[in-house]
Amino acid sequence: MRGDPGGRRAESPDPRRVARVALGRGAEFDLIRRFLGPETPLPQGVWVGPGDDALVLDDGLVLSSDLTVEGVHFRREWLSLVDVGYRAAAAALSDLAAMAAEPLAVLLSVAVGGDEPEREALEVQDGVRQASRAAGAEVLGGDLSRSPGPLVLDVVVVGRTSRPVLRTGGEAGDELWVTGWLGGSAGAVDLWSRGREPPEALQQAFRRPIPRIREALWLAGRLPLKALIDLSDGLGGDAGHLAAAGGVAVLLEEKAFPLHPALADAFPGIEERRGLALYGGEDYELLFAVPPGLVEAKAEEFTATFGIPLTRVGRMVAGEGVWKEGPQGEPIALKRGGFDHFEGGGGG
Amino acid sequence: MRGDPGGRRAESPDPRRVARVALGRGAEFDLIRRFLGPETPLPQGVWVGPGDDALVLDDGLVLSSDLTVEGVHFRREWLSLVDVGYRAAAAALSDLAAMAAEPLAVLLSVAVGGDEPEREALEVQDGVRQASRAAGAEVLGGDLSRSPGPLVLDVVVVGRTSRPVLRTGGEAGDELWVTGWLGGSAGAVDLWSRGREPPEALQQAFRRPIPRIREALWLAGRLPLKALIDLSDGLGGDAGHLAAAGGVAVLLEEKAFPLHPALADAFPGIEERRGLALYGGEDYELLFAVPPGLVEAKAEEFTATFGIPLTRVGRMVAGEGVWKEGPQGEPIALKRGGFDHFEGGGGG
């Protein structure tokens, strides 16, 4: 059975145009689907419409926004306000990486409460600026308001690409690879939530995620990437988006997962660590589909260049949804997608 | 005395480029100045940098964001959630009007609290979509989160222009004109804040402001507009921005102000009504500078086309700051700028 072929390919007259990319399962994505409304033709000047990691205009301009809310995405005990800004900007910039786009500019809107709103706004902005500059972009606009409640920031990133890599192109037979280590950020949140102090490396993974922009451009320049996404919802959730967008199923090989090395002490059970990678989210690593047999020859140079591994974590197969290989190699349906802000629960 | 010549003109090698536009007085603008940091050269690909109504890229793409926070910009007793979305989008689209740009796309980020976050998100989004479509744009992206406190939305607008009209070009001798009626929105907020029911026309001015996009394009096509801004901070505050950006002073003629006709009953004192126009904000009308003697010949056609007046409210003179003509024609310094979210006070 194919997935949702209606949402899979462009319906608009220009065959290059992509009007709507199908999303994976989950209450949050059900809401986003309703939020987007019925599929309508793309307006003039738009290349890739809603549902992918970012909006792409005809001239290759890429736009995405990322909302961070105190008490939902972070708690002040876990992060300085500079870190809050850094992390929010890194998450937004990661959406540019997921389109293989180069950053150009950042807009920051921030609503600050508390007794010292000026200081708080400036600290958040400092973090946003640090993350933006690390990725080669400047903060060039935005808005500012008081908040009677939580700190809220919306980071809008603007980038450019001449060849965006979408979520839609994966086909049965393609391999799925990830950059870097998984589960570190979710491991930190889990420990904090239970009143424990996470190892510094996990705190760092949560506080200062690295948008894989250079890595994405490197990969897109050397490999025929067929589909690409950044890991914000956990490997399970984001693999689900690639599956839905491509109209295929994803079969994950848990044994291969590149689990963050600093997880082992605090999470001795392998299932627990795999759960953090699958369901935890916010690793901001890249997940991509490529035809089989091409990546191995590049992996060593990738690791030498960027200092992180490149790991095959599964493949695309006919069908729909996300599966993992059981002990005897039999496919087991993943019980849920990734982290979901609209499915009860809090934290992280 | 000239204003702040250092912030007045582009420092970057391309003479067309505008790195930083000077802002008027006020705690909020002091903070924005600090927020923007020291003036740095504009990155490649940017035409107009921070401080104007919107960011403009080299290819004429225009970007702006506008943050709306429950309890700061609105209260739920005053507005339906559809109106909240409509008003927030109209405010953001008004920044495109202020650059004489045509809208292309809208991104909406919304953080919703309460027991029915899904319903609330969809209602807000409905309002944003209505306002966007009325201006010729579609909602094509954004982000969604729960909020543990107030409803917060950030509307990002994307437009295009081949010839942006900036805040910087006004010179001594230029006339200052406004579109439409002033003070209506602030009048509604003032009455609500005192527990009174505003007349329907004032409620409408607050709930459903009209971004003057078609009007801006019409004016830019027929008159040599030298400086242009939309009225979000009150005539006093926004005239202050034009003065600071142009390095000149503004002298306002209060007697000429086009006060909203529905204000008269609830605000019998003329000074009170003028105060709403000067300090109230959120009229989202246009304020522009033009060489003297050119607008009169177009005003009748403008009113016939758009159903609103075009009124001369003052002129630019040598000096700095915002002044009004006293009873004997003597200049009186305006005691403060427009509405300021960072100068204590709440509401509106």
For B321-339, the pLDDT digits (tens) are 999 998 888 999 997 655 5
Of A309, A81, A40, A335, the residue nearest A182 (C-alpha)? A309
Q: Which two tokens stand for residue B28?
A: 């909020």
Q: Which two tokens stand for residue A27?
A: 């209450």
Instruction: Note down pLDDT in tens along chain A; length 348 residues.
Output: 333 333 333 333 455 666 666 777 776 667 666 666 666 677 788 888 887 888 999 889 999 999 999 999 989 999 999 999 999 999 999 999 999 999 999 999 999 988 888 899 999 999 999 999 999 999 998 899 999 999 999 999 999 999 999 999 999 999 999 999 999 999 999 999 999 999 999 999 999 999 999 999 999 999 999 999 999 989 999 999 999 999 999 999 999 999 999 999 999 999 999 999 999 989 999 999 999 999 999 999 999 999 999 999 999 999 999 999 988 889 999 976 555 555 543 333
Residues in chain A within 8 Å Cβ distance of B61: 57, 59, 61
% of chain B with per-residue pLDDT over 70: 86
3-state secondary structure of A27: helix
Out of B55, B61, B110, whose CB is closest to A141? B55
Q: Which two tokens stand for residue A154?
A: 């919306």
Burial pattern B104-117, b for ≥16 Cβ within 10 A else e, equals bbbbbbbbbbeeeb
| CATH code for the part of the protein at A5-160 | 3.30.1330.10
Residues in chain B within 8 Å Cβ distance of A121: 31, 35
Instruction: Identify the pLDDT of residue A327.
Output: 86
The predicted-structure confidence for A283-304, as pLDDT tens digits, reads as follows 999 999 999 999 999 999 999 9
* Contacts of residue B35, Cβ cutoff 8 Å, sequence gap at least 6: A121, A122, A125, A144
Mean predicted lDDT score pLDDT of chain B: 88
CA distance linking residue B98 with residue B164, whole number of Å: 9
Of A75, A329, A313, the residue nearest A189 (C-alpha)? A75
Instruction: Identify the pLDDT of residue A119.
Output: 92
Report in angstroms the alpha-carbon separations of A46 from A11, A62, A162, B104: 13, 10, 14, 9
| CATH code for the part of the protein at B175-333 | 3.90.650.10
Tell me the mean pLDDT in the region B49-64: 88
State the Cα torsion B323-B324-B329-B332 to the nearest 10°: -60
CA distance linking residue A279 with residue A274, whole number of Å: 8
Residue B297 has pLDDT above 60, yes or no: yes
Out of A65, A107, A150, whose CB is closest to B143? A65
The predicted-structure confidence for B204-263, as pLDDT tens digits, reads as follows 999 999 999 999 999 999 999 999 999 998 999 999 999 999 999 999 999 999 999 999
The predicted-structure confidence for B70-96, as pLDDT tens digits, reads as follows 999 989 999 999 999 999 999 999 999
Instruction: Identify the pLDDT of residue B19.
Output: 64
Residue pair B154/B109 in contact (Cβ under 8 Å)? The answer is yes
Strands (E), A1-54: 46-48
Strand partners, B284: none
CA distance linking residue B62 with residue B265, whole number of Å: 41
Residue pair A42/A19 in contact (Cβ under 8 Å)? The answer is yes
Mutate to test the interface with A, among B32, B63, B104, B140 (most CBs of A within 10 A): B140
Residue pair B39/B50 in contact (Cβ under 8 Å)? The answer is no
3-state secondary structure of A102: strand
Phi and psi at A55, nearest 5°, equal -85, 140
CA distance linking residue A56 with residue A42, whole number of Å: 11
Contact A71 B144 (CB under 8 A): no
- Which of A162 and B34 is assigned the larger pLDDT? A162
Instruction: Identify the pLDDT of residue B40.
Output: 67
Give the pLDDT band of residue B320 (cuts 50, 70, 90): very high
Contact B67 A104 (CB under 8 A): no
The C-alpha of B226 sits at a distance from chain A's nearest C-alpha, in angstroms, of 23
CA distance linking residue B68 with residue A268, whole number of Å: 46
Indicate the domain borders of chain A: 5-160, 175-333
Phi and psi at B3, nearest 5°, equal -75, -110
CA distance linking residue B223 with residue B246, whole number of Å: 19
Q: Which of the 8 DSSP states describes residue A42?
A: P
The C-alpha of B190 sits at a distance from chain A's nearest C-alpha, in angstroms, of 20
* Contacts of residue B109, Cβ cutoff 8 Å, sequence gap at least 6: A65, A66, A67, A109, A154, B142, B143, B144, B145, B153, B154, B155, B156
Tell me the mean pLDDT in the region B32-52: 74
Q: Which two tokens stand for residue B140?
A: 């094509």
**Which residue matches tokens 């008004």?**
B94
Instruction: Identify the pLDDT of residue A42.
Output: 75
Instruction: Identify the pLDDT of residue B317.
Output: 97
Interchain contact B152–A (C-beta under 8 A) = yes
- Which of A255 and B50 is assigned the larger pLDDT? A255
Residue pair A312/A290 in contact (Cβ under 8 Å)? The answer is no
